[in-house]
Structures are given as C-alpha cells and as structure tokens.
Structure 1
C-alpha cells in the first residue's frame, strides 16, 4: 500500500485496521498507567522495569544475553544498556561476561531481583485479574491469540 494514495480524513471515519491500532494504543496507555502507578507505589518499579525483570526470569538461569533481551524488549543494544543501568545500580540485575567470548555479555537477575520480581508479580497478577475480571477464560484466550497475531504481523513487516 502506497501512503501517498491515502486521503486524510480529518474527523471522518477510520478504517477497521486503524481503529484496531488506535484501540491498541489506548489500551496500552490505560493498562501501563495502572500498572506503573501500582508497581511504583509498592515496589519502586515501572512496568517497563517489571517487564525487563520478567524477561530475565524466563531465561535459563534467570539470565539472557543482553542482545536477546534488547530484542525481546524492542530496544537497541545501547538502549538496553541505558535501561538496565538503574536496575544494576539497585542490585536487581548484574552484568555477566561469557568466559569463552569477551564480546558476549549477559544480564542476570540477582537474588534481590528475583525476590522483588516475585512480589511485583503478585501485584501485577492482581491488577491484571481486576482489569479483565468480566472476561471468560475463552474470551481471554481469544484476546491473547488475537494480540499475538497482531504482534506477529507487525514484526513480519
């Protein structure tokens, strides 16, 4: 699709595709605001910090190569370095070098990071359940699959 062939529609109807993208953006804003506020109040974390710690917890030995973490989080290598620095200073994450290859660096959860993530995870679960309290298991599964499909289509471009 060539964007030069699209007529702007100020205040007019939008395509179903744009409507989905706008709804995703609005939903992300609302959910992030809710999770950011709660996590910051109780644990001093942003939702972004929580996501990084969660990604690390999913890696073997609670660690990931920094480049892999950057990709999962949608950041550049320098972006992940800047994002991890405050977590490293707090002692939640540590930098580890690969002994056989000095070019490879890992980010790993520390014991303090695992403990804080455990508490933050409980809170994030509570908020998620509250946000989606009126959804059936089938609706949740369908929504999760639809969002995964959108993410896959966006990454394929």
Structure 2
C-alpha cells in the first residue's frame, strides 16, 4: 500500500520531531552549566566508564583533535581525569571525576518540557505513543 510507511520513513519523522525541539533545552543546559553542549556530550559518553580519546571521539561523533580539545578543557575544569590504561600502558583512559558526575547530573536536571505539539495530544494518543516507544526502546 502506498500509505504504509517504512521503518526508515518513521525514523526520519521521529528524529526530525525530537531534533527540532531540543535546541532550547541545549541552550538552557549551556546557560545552566557554563559549558558548551559538546562538553556535555563528552561527559555523557564517559558516564558508562573510561574511554580512550580515540574511542571517546567516535562515541561523541567528533574528530580526534576536537575530542582532545574537549578533554583538555574538561580536565582543566576538574571534570575528567586521564590515567594510564592498565591494559595498554602506552594509552591513556579518560574518566569522569566526582565533579564531572555531579556536573552531568546538574546538566540533565535542566527542565525539559514537552513541546507544545506533544502537550496538545489527548491522553489516549499520549498512551498510544508511549506504548509504541516502549516497544522500540532498547
């Protein structure tokens, strides 16, 4: 049927809706923390555990020089630390400090109200959307 969407069609729509409504929240996080949002992305990737700068760059979708600049900045602020990788003494791992974890929690505590279009849905539509999203949640 011509009106049957593909998974790619639905994904494009879903990401479009989310990405187009996140700018105000990102600005609020930046204002609240005093950090560029790219630094918050780096902190978030490190929340799961230490990474090399190369792996961090890949995880944060940035090139290695940009990741190095971000790590240097975050290290100067006391939010991350570099330590020798016990599995490869020629490599260093970057990990969050206690202050880094606290900053990440502070950043993600920034209010993030639903966009008006979502707030305008009736309760049955909201339940349906929630239930569908739970089905695809990892």
Question: Scaled by the length of structure 1, what TM-score is found?
Answer: 0.61
Q: What is the RMSD of the two structures over their aligned residues, measured on CA atoms?
A: 3.2
Q: Give the number of aligned pairs.
A: 126
Contact 1:40 1:46 in 2 (8 A): yes
Contact 1:50 1:117 in 2 (8 A): yes
Structure 1 gaps, min length 5: 1-16, 149-157
Structure 2 gaps, min length 5: 1-7
**Structure-to-structure mapping, 1:1-157, within 5 angstroms:** 24=15, 28=19, 30-31=21-22, 33-59=23-49, 63-123=50-110, 126-127=111-112, 129-131=113-115, 133=119, 134=121, 136=126, 138-140=128-130, 142=132
Deviation at 1:84, TM superposition (A): 1.8
Q: Which has the higher contact order (CA 8 A, sep 6+)?
A: 2
In structure 2, relative to structure 1, the CA distance for the partners of 1:143 and 1:91 (3 Å cut) is same
> Which structure shows the higher helix fraction?
1
Structure 1 residue matching 2:55: 3-state secondary structure: helix
Question: Scaled by the length of structure 2, what TM-score is found?
Answer: 0.68
